Amino acid sequence: METTSSDFSQSHFDTIIIGSGVGGLSAAICLARAGQKVLVLEQHDVPGGWCHSFYLNGHRFTPGVHYVGLVEKGQSTARLYEALGIANDLTFFRMNPSAYEHAYIGEERFDFPGNFDDLVTALVVRFPKEERNIKKYLNLVRNVSAELQLLPDIEGIWQHVTIPFRTKNMGKYALFSLKRVIDWHIKDPLLKKILNIQFGDHGLAPAKASFPLHCAVMDHYFNGGFYPCGGGGAIVKAMTTAIKKYNGEVKTQQSVKKIILQGKMKKVAIGVEMESGEKLFAKQIISNADPNITYQNLIGEENLSKKLQRKLSKTKYSCTSLMLFLTVDIDIKAAGIDSGNIWLMPNEDMDVVYERMMMPNITNEEAFEGMFISCTTLKDPSSFDGKHHTIEAITYLDYRIFEKFKDENESRSAEYLQFKEVLTEKMIKTLEKVVPNIREHIVHKELGTPITNQYYINTTKGSVYGTEKKLTQIGPFAFKAKSEIKNLYLCGASIVSHGVAGAGYSGLQTAGEILNLKQKELLKTDVQQSITILEAENNTDYPGWLRNKIESKKRKKASK
């Protein structure tokens, strides 16, 4: 699939892509399919960026894929994978259709059904006095998201967002925060919290989050949440297989030191210099690294315009995270957990909660303010061995809390390891709010920190969503796919959008810039391609290959 050897078969390519996140891999497929010689370089030992999977004691985890939306026929994620020619290689499990998402807000509970009309009904039953407001608000969310999806196909749309007949709702609400718009429409405080709880999917409190961006996130899951069979790594494998099919190369453990520039003003990208000193050349370079790493580390500020330097100095990156990876030997279903994700939050103003999450003193003995909890062995039944379940629990925090450890190498200091122990205990204590006796059933635990994010994913300050998704850094204000340096392009979460689908689409758009094709031209659906969708909560229709895989895994575990 991918190789680690630095013995490159050639030194000249059409396009070299730095980083193998799904944005870079999407671009690679499009370019290789168009006949280009494409090389993808990845500094980690596996490709995929946030989408990669890894194993701890034989159990699989994926740090950046927890659910995906719109994978059914005709929907945008499905269209992307069909157009890339990888849909036939993918199987997704539909998470609990009646509760793909659980909101635990203090002592209050609300389940998000995976259907727009059912969501409206459930909310109206819970908040009958808000019926008119609920319907008006959720229809607004859906309409704004639909208008957002028009943007890539309309020339100069961001210069004309107020044109009434094209973007009526965008023109009215584009410049407002989530908090401002929801306050205009919804009165009940608990209902506001329920409708806001998915702010964790973009990592910004309601007062700072762009309303259109939140609309895109909510709309992405109006038809439910889905999880890939094989974890995020299955998507990566399908993409790297496609690249290889078109004679492209993906090489891991290949760290790029700098982008080579030429010309009197050094304004033309012509290749890359590896950490090993080897130089590789290409007609185009695409960086799947974030803008800070691309421009400041790989290009150097001295080669940038004053305008771009100012933009970089003002750019803020998203919050970072703690991720607890657990293997447990408890009957997790009997403990009340299903394939739906859980958002655990106190019943307080979410902007206040978010600010407390970002506070520097987190070494007290209390539990964390908020947490996202997900059981991957229930979302992907093929990964369950009959005894052990795997859990991924995440909380957000400010990178400054870990800044003093930023120069840690692979051999971690005693202070860092002790700090990890304290935080691991806090994470378990928070998880006990949902599964009270889980501590007694932990077989293996590992905590990923902002330093882990930097080391493996190479993100600025361990950020989980690239640039912070506030109004002044998205849409027309985001970094562009085509840079000011000739033949240098960017893709990824900081260019078009974050998330598995958003980053994938960014690669498509960047490839379109190089091939001089619009997104809709690259999105031509291959009628031979179709994603397989199965039910995580119901194995009745599982095909033979999947049943055999599940039984084989259980037999192997039992024999040990």
pLDDT for res 280: 96
Read off the pLDDT band of 151 (50, 70, 90).
Answer: low
- Separation between Cα atoms, residue 502 and residue 500, nearest integer Å: 6
Pairing of strands 38-41, 12-18: parallel
**Which residues, other chains included, contact 75 with Cβ-Cβ below 8 Å and sequence gap of 6+?**
69, 223
Instruction: Reply yes or no on whether the pLDDT at 484 is more than 50.
Output: yes
8 A C-beta contact, residue 62 and residue 232: yes
Tokens of 433: 């709010």
Give mean pLDDT, residues 207-212: 92
Please report how the helices 116-126 and 189-196 are oriented relative to each other, as an axis angle in degrees rounded to 10: 160
* CA distance linking residue 450 with residue 290, whole number of Å: 16
Q: Residue 42's closest CA among 323, 243, 194?
A: 243
Please report which confidence band the pLDDT of residue 207 belongs to, taking 50, 70 and 90 as the band edges: very high
Q: What is the model's pLDDT at position 511?
A: 97
Residue 216 phi, psi (nearest 5): -65, -40
* Per-residue confidence (pLDDT) for residue 3, from 0 to 100: 54
Kindly report which listed range (114-118, 264-268, 353-357) carries the lowest average pLDDT score: 264-268
Q: Hey, how many other C-beta atoms are within 10 angstroms of the C-beta on 179? A: 21
CA distance 431 to 368: 9
Q: Count the neighbouring beta carbons within 10 Å of the beta carbon of residue 467.
A: 24
Q: Confidence class of residue 264 from pLDDT cuts 50, 70 and 90?
A: confident
pLDDT of res. 496: 82
CATH of the domain spanning 12-92+229-315+469-522? 3.50.50.60
What is the distance between the alpha carbons of residues 217 and 199, in angstroms, rounded to a whole number?
8
Angle at 542 between CA 537 and CA 545, to 5 degrees: 135
Per-chain mean pLDDT for the chain? 91
pLDDT of residue 362: 82
Which residues are CB-contacts of 245 (< 8 A; sequence separation ≥ 6)? none
pLDDT digits (tens, 9 = 90+) for 286-306: 999 999 999 999 999 999 999
CA-CA distance, 492 to 510, in Å (whole number)?
9
Q: How far is Cα 122 from Cα 102, in angstroms, rounded to an integer?
A: 13
| Whether the predicted pLDDT of 157 surpasses 70 | no
- What stretches of 153-267 adopt beta strand conformation (E)? 226-228, 249-251, 256-262
d(CA 46, CA 191): 42
pLDDT above 50 (res 328): yes
Q: Which amino acid is at 515?
A: L
- Residue 446: beta bridge partners? 325
- The predicted-structure confidence for 373-394, as pLDDT tens digits, reads as follows 999 999 999 999 999 999 999 9
pLDDT of 246 > 70? The answer is yes
Tokens matching residue 347: 């019943």
Which pLDDT belongs to residue 163? 44
* CA–CA gap between residue 33 and residue 246 (Å, rounded): 6
Cβ distance 22 to 242 under 8 Å? no
- DSSP letter string over 181-212? HHHHH---HHHHHHHHGGGGGTT--TTTBBHH
- Looking at residue 471, what is its pLDDT? 83
Q: Which two tokens stand for residue 434?
A: 């949902």
Question: pLDDT category, 8, cuts 50, 70, 90?
Answer: low
Sketch the domain layout of the chain as residue ranges: 12-92+229-315+469-522, 116-221, 319-457
Residue 495's SS3 state is coil
Considering only CA atoms, which of 189, 187, 209 is closest in space to residue 198? 209
Q: Are 107 and 152 in contact (CB under 8 A)?
A: no
Lowest mean pLDDT among 170-179, 196-205, 294-303: 170-179
Q: Give the integer Cα–Cα distance in Å for 224 and 100.
A: 6
Percent of the chain topping pLDDT 90: 80
Beta carbons of 536 and 67 less than 8 angstroms apart: no
Residue 160 has pLDDT above 50, yes or no: no
For the chain, the C-alpha Rg in angstroms (whole number) is 23
Question: Can you tell me whether residue 30 is helix, strand or coil?
Answer: helix
Q: What is the mean pLDDT of residues 194-212?
A: 93
**What mean pLDDT do residues 530-559 have?**
93
d(CA 499, CA 493): 7
Report the 10 Å Cβ neighbour count for 176.
16
Q: What is the pLDDT of residues 127-138, one digit of tens each?
A: 999 999 999 999
* Crossing angle between the packed helical segments 178-185 and 131-150, to the nearest 10 degrees: 140
- Which phi and psi angles does 67 have, rounded to 5°? -170, 155
